[in-house]
Structure 1
């Protein structure tokens, strides 16, 4: 299941980056129209209940009383005042959310949020994520990565493999004679959009991810264009799986180039990958996990504290943020899962796949973003209340755009305030774009993206 390309103009030349990326972090605060913004990286979306409480305290004491969930499973604090940087850093550091100030913006690691929580798991990619995070924070060379470089760890179900990783590793079961067979399974490593893969032994997966990123840094330096991401490497310096396999073996990593023809995986780029649905997730050990979504990706402090309380009191004491702006709470008993889910629903969280808020997203919009043409979040909420446009009613709005084999009602729907479409979904999705003349509705497919400016993760 090779990753799908990000939204970008077809045939465009790789950009020349003559400055560092301006991606916000926990320490580098971004100046937005509604105040300062802090983006806290959470590798694999993992939070302890204690850490979640610290974020709630920060949002309540310093921010606007809300937390935003991003398309990379991170958390954002908005409405921060000038001069709060040191107090915020102290609070985050005390909670273990800043293991390294030099590395905090590069800890971009996505992982399958349901790994080891349901009946479909090859490997514990959450463990790989923690090991990779430790390697990143110990690496001097990794500090040269941009804040947009992305590692993706998929446990084999195909939920995050197509989310545009620069280095994507997809777990596979053990096979005789292949690296990883003796240890119970390894992973297929993909670099950028190359459909070919490199097979990595299980114990080497985190080290292979870091070594591949270091190979990218060497190619970016040689290319001289200041590339931030693998897809931006100029012609003559672009990386492919064969290059990576050679580099990994030189670094002492057990790696086998297997090409594209040997990778038997289904295409998950059309928006139908098995992402966590809202509701109760049945685990292999009789335990339950709760999967909920934040309406339009934003939670009040009260909602966040309720989630934290469920995790601490009835769960395993942890939360996992998902790249679909949701939260998974593992470790509940059968007896507590249902009443707790009802409590979360009563608090305004999305707990039912039939909810009109399911698959619905929006960028920040006005008043938080000065570039936005409209308050897209308010407009989307109004549309939900009115019953249109939502996935079930949009076929009439897009009659001339065929979407083979995909019911339009099953597609993600995303409202954007401008052509940057910050935080948009991957794969195929319904685009509701604010223009100077109102909203333009279309369907975006990976093979035919709209003309757009640079898009940004959110």
Structure 2
């Protein structure tokens, strides 16, 4: 099956926003083909066992019963009935999942999910996470951030530093923290505050240039200009900083591997969709919290669990259909919601992805299935895009670092394995 070279991707340009940000939340639902959709922000993906049970009850009572993980470690409830918005908000508010109605869509924070559990990071970023979320919810200017703006708190291992966040704080082995934008090292104690100040510098820059930019990458600024603005703001707020080369960029890895890792157990959720039973199994493990990851996984701190109890818990989760094998091809496959949930989708990409699962282990790159050219939720880094077309077929394309893009068409889903073999050979 021949492949065709694609022209190089054009350099990203500032986006022209004709409308306000319509990103869904808990109080602003999105109308989908399978019912209303709510996106519940969970900073750092951290969820206490009580709050996890409350989410499960809301999904069963008001939605389709399933819980969907996003690429930011948040949760979506789908299939919500008409007029249930007020009841959902009351339930989540009572569970402590709605600390500020004015900030509920801007609490987008990813954090290293194994931080403090396996000894691999430079520091435990959980205190940063708590402090940043509280500062966000207390900030008047932060209410103006879009629902797409993203913070990343990396414990030094480089996992969430590679997710393309708008503001990244990365722990330094010497005890400080590297800030991007700004490209400076600040005292660790000031890390949460500098993250918020950087976001406010972004808002000021967008306002002064008359743009509705939602992400840092959309700002029409010369190279280095936002760094300068951030440094000026830090100076004005009395925060000391020092220049330096900073750490190397983050990775685009797949997150914690399934299994027992340090003081935690880790599982992967196929296509990020929990059934009601799978979610309930997680809440019955006896753990105090869950940590949902940006890679559609869950890390469960085992705390005082014995080795035998931890192994038994992992076995129960595997029996429920969650991935506990680090060699599973599911770790290399992602997909948007597709049909029937999305009106723009041309195919039931999740069903096609499951039917083609054996082929997913062949290429050296992850696969991401999209129901249309919008490719909602597609990952960063090198991967194979499998995009459904209106003719019932798929277009597959892959770009490796330093190489040219290639593409091939599969006229129907049964030809996906052959197309993968052709494009990755």
**Is TM > 0.5 for Structure 1 vs Structure 2?**
yes
After superposition, residues 245-260 of structure 1 pair within 5 angstroms as 245-258=231-244
Whether 2:269 is the aligned partner of 1:294: answer yes
1:278 paired residue number: 258
Instruction: Note the alpha carbon deviations across 1:320-339, whole angstroms, 9 max, x for none.
Output: 00000111100233221111
RMSD: 1.9
Whether 2:421 is the aligned partner of 1:435: answer no
Contact persistence 2:117–2:264 (CA under 8 A): yes
Which whole-Å CA distance do the structure 1 matches of 2:164 and 2:239 have between them? 24
1:5 paired residue number: none
Shift of 1:249: 1.4
Which whole-Å CA distance do the structure 2 matches of 1:41 and 1:294 have between them? 18
Contact persistence 1:321–1:327 (CA under 8 A): yes
Cα pair distance change 1:249/1:290, threshold 3 Å: same
Instruction: Note the alpha carbon deviations across 1:406-456, whole angstroms, 9 max, x for none.
Output: xx1xx32111111111111111112111123411222234677979xxxxx
Shift of 1:243: 3.0
Which whole-Å CA distance do the structure 1 matches of 2:57 and 2:74 have between them? 17
TM superposition score normalised by structure 2:
0.89
1:444 paired residue number: 399
Aligned residues: 396
Unaligned runs of 5+ in 1: 1-7, 175-184, 283-287, 395-407, 452-458
Whether 2:143 is the aligned partner of 1:143: answer yes
Instruction: Note the alpha carbon deviations across 1:127-177, whole angstroms, 9 max, x for none.
Output: 211110000000011000000000001111111101011001111112xxx
Cα pair distance change 1:20/1:250, threshold 3 Å: same
Q: 3-state SS of the aligned residue for 1:219?
A: helix
2:5 paired residue number: none
1:419 paired residue number: 373
Moved over 6 A (4+): 446-451
Shift of 1:234: 1.2
Which whole-Å CA distance do the structure 1 matches of 2:149 and 2:114 have between them? 23
Which whole-Å CA distance do the structure 1 matches of 2:93 and 2:324 have between them? 32
Which whole-Å CA distance do the structure 2 matches of 1:219 and 1:371 have between them? 34
Shift of 1:254: 2.1
1:307 paired residue number: 282
Shift of 1:230: 0.8
Which whole-Å CA distance do the structure 2 matches of 1:69 and 1:109 have between them? 14
1:362 paired residue number: 335
2:318 paired residue number: 345
1:216 paired residue number: 202
Report which stretch shifted further, 372-381 or 227-236: 227-236
2:179 paired residue number: 189
Which whole-Å CA distance do the structure 1 matches of 2:58 and 2:25 have between them? 15
2:230 paired residue number: 244
Cα pair distance change 1:257/1:433, threshold 3 Å: same
TM superposition score normalised by structure 1:
0.83
Contact persistence 2:397–2:405 (CA under 8 A): no
Q: 3-state SS of the aligned residue for 1:365?
A: coil
Cα pair distance change 1:445/1:138, threshold 3 Å: farther
Cα pair distance change 1:320/1:431, threshold 3 Å: same
Whether 2:303 is the aligned partner of 1:323: answer no
Cα pair distance change 1:333/1:249, threshold 3 Å: farther
Instruction: Note the alpha carbon deviations across 1:70-114, whole angstroms, 9 max, x for none.
Output: 000000000001100110000000110000000000000000000
Instruction: Note the alpha carbon deviations across 1:20-46, whole angstroms, 9 max, x for none.
Output: 111000110000010000000000000
Which whole-Å CA distance do the structure 1 matches of 2:243 and 2:226 have between them? 10
Cα pair distance change 1:220/1:449, threshold 3 Å: farther
Q: 3-state SS of the aligned residue for 2:385?
A: strand
Contact persistence 1:171–1:187 (CA under 8 A): yes
Which whole-Å CA distance do the structure 1 matches of 2:9 and 2:19 have between them? 22
1:263 paired residue number: 246
Contact persistence 2:64–2:78 (CA under 8 A): yes
Shift of 1:358: 1.6
Contact persistence 1:292–1:328 (CA under 8 A): yes
Cα pair distance change 1:75/1:264, threshold 3 Å: closer
Instruction: Note the alpha carbon deviations across 1:364-389, whole angstroms, 9 max, x for none.
Output: 000001111100001111112xx22x
Shift of 1:213: 0.5
Shift of 1:238: 7.1
Q: 3-state SS of the aligned residue for 1:18?
A: coil
1:177 paired residue number: none
2:3 paired residue number: none
Shift of 1:245: 1.8
Contact persistence 2:154–2:171 (CA under 8 A): yes
Counterpart pick for 2:345 among 369, 372, 394: 372
